[in-house]
Amino acid sequence: MALGPQTRPEWFGVDLVAYPSGSGDVHHFGILHDGTWIEDDPLPQGTEFGKVNAFELKILDLLIGQILKEPVPDTPGFEFPPQNNDETTGLTLEYRGRHTYRLYDDEPDGVSYYADDLLDVVEIGALNAFVRYLDRKYGTDPGEAIIG
């Protein structure tokens, strides 16, 4: 199935943020609906920009479109033990440029998914994994990556 402009979900951007414990630094990697990625790291890297390829943008459209088929709850629906005690990470989705949905938080006290059912957890987990993959591919050199 080809995604045309009329079938694309109306998302504006997806953002992955990490706060490594004890460092005071913030790592931000975001992707806009047009495929532009933005990485903002503490100095010396600073802010970098680029474009994901068309296939990667279609995957983002499909994942985000699936998540947006149902309303995203304002409070976590599923919580799990922490996965990573060395940093706090979060994944947000901006919809139509008007509303930001919090989808995922991984904090030292536990992991939260803003989801109504386990299928939503899988969908958010897939988006989180794909955005992390894009961060490693386009962002900070994998040997220096803060996230992951």
Q: How much is the pLDDT for 10? A: 82
Q: How much is the pLDDT for 147? A: 41
Q: How much is the pLDDT for 95? A: 83
Domain spans of the chain, in order of start: 11-139
The per-residue pLDDT for range 86-122, each reduced to its tens digit, is 678 889 999 876 788 999 998 888 899 999 999 999 9
Per-residue DSSP letters for 14-71?
Answer: EEEEEEETTT---EEEEEETTSEEEEE-STTT-EEEEE--HHHHHHHHHHHHHHTTSP
Q: How much is the pLDDT for 148? A: 39
Q: How much is the pLDDT for 29? A: 92
CATH class of residue range 11-139:
alpha beta
Q: How many Cα atoms are found within 13 Å in the side-chain-facing hemisphere of 119?
A: 6
Q: How much is the pLDDT for 47? A: 85
The residues facing 78 across adjacent strands are: 113
Q: How much is the pLDDT for 97? A: 64
Q: Point out the residues of the chain with pLDDT beneath 50.
A: 1-6, 141-148
Q: How much is the pLDDT for 9? A: 67
